[in-house]
Amino acid sequence: MDKRPRRWKRTPLCEPCGFEERPLSEQKERASHNNPDTRAQALARLLLRPARGSVWQAILLPVLAVFTALVIGALVIVFTDLQVLNLYKDFFSAPGKALAASWKSIASAYSALFKGSIGNPAEFAKAISVLRATGDAAPLRQAFWPISESLVTSVPYIFAGLAVALGFQCGLFNIGAEGQIFIGALASVYVGYSIKGLPQYIHLPLAFLTGAAAAGLWAAVAGVLKAKTGAHEVINTIMMNYIAFLLSDWLLNGPMKRPGYSPISPAIQDSAWLPKFFPDPLRFHAGFFVALGIAAVVYWLLFKTTIGFEIRSVGANPDAARYAGISVTRNFVLAMFLSGALAGMAGANEVLGVNHQLASAFSSGYGFDSIALALLGKSHPVGVVLAALLFGTLRSGATRMQSLAGVPIDIISILQALVIIFIAAPAIIRWLYRLRLEREVGETVFTRGWGQ
């Protein structure tokens, strides 16, 4: 005889007595479907649980993408060297000569890239010897200049990459990071030069956070349009890029123009400078550590807080998130605001830490390169930081590669484009290296269709 507790519940189609008997376990199961907390837990298990066995591929695929891009880049270097190509006319009669010249060209180019971005080990050794013998640190500072420039160049990449990656986590494609960088720079430089008499511990954070807030509000416009009307954020942010560029040109030629100069703003007050750690020629400043700290905050926000859980849930499946009681509208707007604020920090960093003024073309495409950074870093803050260091190294060493090895600087753009191709189409890497396709759960959705 079944002695389990039972509950009585009236139903539309009832027995003559008006009640039917249901087990208590069945009633609890039905009630759980209407419990928002239970639905959220189920959504977390369904959408955000880690894929079994895919972690190593998530690390390996970007590494192989970069390696493959370098290999193809080596072929491009050979094919653009006319002296090497002339040797291939006699390849069948003297193959060793052509292959040796090819290897020399590739080694020279990548060696110059390394020396221009990291430094020359021989110069380090010589500078240390001079320091020990005479106490003169100038040669050592000069030896550290390449790696200093690489780190300085990586800082805006970190901020901009985090901006696009956070949008990807919510299923939004923020292609307007470049315009948001300009807005952040405009706001920061205005606060930096117009407010006088403040101590550095107030003036510097005020200028930096003003740039972040201005760019965040600028990006939030696209978030509101997406949430309320379904207008695609790609279209909105592209159009807003042009508005930001033209607005900055107008301001730098008008209200914010420094008297007697070409389109350039007044110099910011010394109290708004990001601190430098070393004398010239090293430009390494505190912005690098600020960027690492912001990356840690973004990681904590996305993976350790309720806000981050909701953002990732909306990015994984907005319909399921809505069913679990998560506001898709609010998270679209919030994600775009945070994404824009991160991009604005990139602009603030450049004017407060590097240029100390604003020119009409101060950004070198950081916002557009950030798309590749987010893809290469798999939209994860740690991956974005590593990708930013790589891109900063490539950009910093490109000039030295051109001057020492005679390789066109455009080879760096080719390498970046190849990395994007291999990351966006991982099937190519899997086919080349015979990697087994594994099931991926909770994969980041980069963008959605109009009105979704």
pLDDT at 61: 84
pLDDT at 175: 92
- Least Cα distance to 63 among 371, 383, 381, 367 occurs for 383
Question: Taking the chain (452 residues) in consecutive chunks of 10 residues, what is each chunk's mean pLDDT?
Answer: 50 45 50 53 56 65 88 90 84 84 89 88 87 85 90 95 95 93 96 93 96 97 92 93 93 88 88 90 92 97 94 90 90 96 96 91 82 89 94 87 80 84 84 71 52 42
How far, in whole angstroms, is CA 373 from its chain's centroid? 5
What pTM was computed for the model? 0.83
SS (H, E, C) the chain: CCCCCEEEECCCCCCCCCCEEEEHHHHHHHHHHCCHHHHHHHHHHHHCCCCCCCHHHHHHHHHHHHHHHHHHHHHHHHHCCHHHHHHHHHCCCCHHHHHHHHHHHHHHHHHHHHHHHCCCHHHHHHHHHHHHHHCCCHHHHHHHHHHHHHHHHHHHHHHHHHHHHHHHHCCCCCCCHHHHHHHHHHHHHHHHHHCCCCCHHHHHHHHHHHHHHHHHHHHHHHHHHHHHHCCCHHHHHHHHHHHHHHHHHHHHHCCCCCCCCCCECCCCCHHHCCCECCCCCCCCECHHHHHHHHHHHHHHHHHHCHHHHHHHHHHHCHHHHHHCCCCHHHHHHHHHHHHHHHHHHHHHHHHHHHHCCCECCCCCCHHHHHHHHHHHCCCCHHHHHHHHHHHHHHHHHHHHHHHHHCCCCHHHHHHHHHHHHHHHCHHHHHHHHCCCCCCCCCCCCCCCCCCC
- Locate the domains of the chain by residue range: 118-406
Is the CATH number of domain 118-406 3.40.50? no
pLDDT at 10: 47
pLDDT at 38: 60
pLDDT at 235: 93
Measured distance CA(452)–CA(443) in Å, rounded: 18
State the number of CA atoms in the 13 A half-sphere of 337 facing the CB.
11
Q: Is 444 left (phi over 0), alpha (psi -120 to 50) or beta?
A: beta
